[in-house]
Amino acid sequence: MNDTKKHAIDTLSERTRRGEISRRQFTQLAALVLAGTPMLLRSTGAFAAAKELVLVNWGGDAITAYDAAYGQAFTKDTGITVKMDGSGPTEGAISAQFKSGAPTWDLVDVDPFSAITLGAQGALEPIDYKIVDKTKMRPGFGWEYAASTYFFSYVIAYDSEKYGKDAPTGMADFFDVKKFPGKRSLYKWGVSSWEAALLADGIAPASLYPLDLKRAHDKIAAFKENVVAYWGGGAESQSVLLNGEASMAIVWSTRASLIEQDSGGKIKFIWDQGLISPGALAVLKNNPGGKDAAMKFIASAQDPQKQLIMFDKLGQGPANPAADALIPADKKRINPVDPENMKKQIALDMDWYAKNYGAALDEYTKIISA
């Protein structure tokens, strides 16, 4: 790097340290200076000095909820700013960040099975359990490359004005457009769609795994004309029901409770045959904000009071059992890990997904895109 470029980068680094420009602005401006040599940016040390973490989640209400529950408190305690990015940390997007050699993300809200896969590829940092407390998780929900911070479920949400007292009772009703007329919406990334199709086709919950993908895909292909949208993020799943495009959708329980609230009870949801899953945080390999800072953020997110805020704002079931007792009795109905709701649901098999998700998604995408 010549002296002129070095001076420009040093100036930008100093402005970043003083908080005059964000790390993202630094990245953009420095890239212009260096004419596309992003690896050199890391040698300045400006990223770490910038005291900033970028947490990528699935957008919509999650952006403000994560900030209110975790981001603001972490900044107050550590001086490290936490920026929320709702662009959606899919396996492909995380992998692309890693392969770029210059990731701009630090923390991702990730499915544990994706973390197993991405961790094996070297894209994620191992969770430092000297910083993150495994005893503050439900047993079995801390992995090598991801730490559970909440629980959610894929549930059926429906237009109660359209169906009146005849609420759906399971996945067979979701696929029955004669009994429940109207358009449907399914998840763009396949998870829950396979299980829903098989349950609707008569497979018993205890016999779901290993998934019969041929049978599931045949069911999904035959049902395509009834699907108005395959949603990809939280905001999209909410809007497709609120604007009336779909009269029934399989959505995250975290969003279903918000839709019920935002619609004044017009849109309701059921736990029956819901597909429950842990949500987790993972750290990008060589994340720009620093591994230790990211691990400390995960540890801070284990605070029961903070998880209670996430439950209040987003309906996330607490990962820390110590938070259970903090949930008011009148709100237990919307808690995915409440015993009364748990017994109606089926747990996603993380190990099956870790081994089979990539190929299954490829086939699913071909079917819904055709």
pTM above 0.85, yes or no: no
Q: What is the mean pLDDT of residues 254-259?
A: 90
Contact, 362 vs 122, CB < 8 A?
no
Q: Which tokens belong to 260?
A: 């019920």
Report the C-alpha gap between 76 and 44 in whole angstroms: 26
104: β partners: none
Q: Which tokens belong to 266?
A: 């017009």
Distance of alpha carbon 10 from the chain centroid: 37
Contact, 123 vs 71, CB < 8 A?
no
Q: Do domains 50-149+276-343 and 152-275+348-367 have the same CATH topology?
A: yes
In the predicted model, is pLDDT for residue 15 greater than 90? no
The 10s digit of each residue's pLDDT in 298-318 is 999 999 999 999 999 988 999
Q: Which tokens belong to 37?
A: 């040599």
Reference 262, options 270, 271, 254; nearest CA is: 254
- The answer to which of 87-91, 181-185, 331-335 has the lowest mean pLDDT is 87-91
Distances (CA, A) of 181 to 162, 176, 358: 9, 8, 33
The domain 50-149+276-343: what is its CATH number? 3.40.190.10
Q: What is the mean pLDDT of residues 30-34?
A: 53
Confidence of residue 233 (pLDDT cuts 50, 70, 90): confident
Report the C-alpha gap between 31 and 209 in whole angstroms: 48
Q: Which tokens belong to 319?
A: 């990962």
Report the C-alpha gap between 78 and 212 in whole angstroms: 48
Report the C-alpha gap between 352 and 193 in whole angstroms: 15
Distances (CA, A) of 111 to 49, 115, 191, 198, 333: 30, 6, 10, 21, 24
- The answer to which of 42-56, 126-140, 164-178, 209-223 has the lowest mean pLDDT is 42-56
In the predicted model, is pLDDT for residue 27 greater than 70? no
Report whether CATH 3.40.190.10 matches the domain 152-275+348-367: yes
Instruction: Count CB-CB contacts under 10 A for residue 10.
Output: 12
Q: What is the mean pLDDT of residues 28-53?
A: 52
What is the pLDDT at residue 179?
Answer: 96
Q: What is the mean pLDDT of the chain?
A: 89
Distances (CA, A) of 242 to 162, 323, 344: 13, 31, 26
Confidence of residue 41 (pLDDT cuts 50, 70, 90): very low
The 10s digit of each residue's pLDDT in 62-120 is 899 999 999 999 999 999 999 999 988 988 999 999 999 989 999 999 999 999 999 99
Instruction: Name the phi and psi angles at 301, rounded to 5.
Output: -75, -5
Q: What is the mean pLDDT of residues 260-269?
A: 94
Query: Pairing between strand 267-283 and 147-159?
Result: antiparallel
- The answer to which of 34-48, 221-235, 328-342 has the lowest mean pLDDT is 34-48
In the predicted model, is pLDDT for residue 38 greater than 80? no
Residue ranges covered by each domain of the chain:
50-149+276-343, 152-275+348-367
